[in-house]
Amino acid sequence: MHIDPLRIQIKSNIMTDTMKQQHQAGFLMAKIRQVAGRIFERMLNRYGIEINSAQGRIMFALWQEDNISINQLAKKTQLKKSTLTSMLDRLEDMGYIRRERSKKDRRIILIKRTNKDKNLEKKYVELSQEHTKFFYKGFSESQIVRFEKDLELILKNLVEYESKMTNEKST
C-alpha cells in the first residue's frame, strides 16, 4: 500500500483551515468558567465562606425566591435533581437550608433558608460584586448588557437543543 505524502498534507491543511474558521465560543466559555471558578473558590476562602461555588449557585437562587420546591430549584439552577439533592444534603448539614413538606401538598418538599444563611448572603453578595468588577474590567455598561443578552440567547439555544435531544431519546 502506497501512502501519498502530498495527499496527507492536503487533508491536514483542510483540517487546519476548518479549525481556523470554526468559532470558539464553547472552548472560550469553558476556559473562562475554569479560570473564573478557580478565582472564585480562592475568594470564597479569603472571605471565610465555607460553601463552594456550586452550592453558592443554589443559595443565590434561594436568595431570589425562598420557600420553593426542589423541582423549581432544579429549573432555576439548571442542575439535575440527583446532583441537587446531594448538594442540598450538605447545605442542610451545614445549617444553611432546611426542608419542609408543603402544607398544601404533602408530596412536595420545600427548601427554606435559615438565619445562618442570611448572614452568608451579605458576604456572598460582597464577594460577587468584587468578582463582577474585575470580570467586566474594560467593558462599558452597554457592552455588559449586550454580552449578557447574547449569553442568555446561547443558554436558551442550548436548553432547547438539550430538550429536543431528550425528547428524541425517549421516543
Say what the pLDDT of residue 130 is. 92
In whole angstroms, give the CA distance from residue 163 to residue 82.
18
For the chain, give the mean pLDDT.
87
Say what the pLDDT of residue 89 is. 96
Spans in the chain with pLDDT lower than 70 = 1-21, 171
**pTM greater than the 0.85 cutoff:** no
Angle between helices 53-64 and 81-93 (to 10 degrees): 90
Say what the pLDDT of residue 86 is. 93
**Domain 25-131 maps to which CATH number in 1.20.1250.20, 1.10.10.10, 1.10.3720.10, 3.40.50.20?**
1.10.10.10
Say what the pLDDT of residue 69 is. 94
Q: Domain map of the chain by residue range?
A: 25-131, 140-171
Question: What digits encode the pLDDT tens for the residues 67-115?
Answer: 999 999 999 998 988 899 999 999 999 999 999 999 999 999 999 999 8
The H-or-E segment that residue 63 falls in is helix 53-64
User: In this structure, what is the dihedral angle of CA atoms 51, 54, 57, 58, given to the nearest 10 degrees?
Assistant: -80
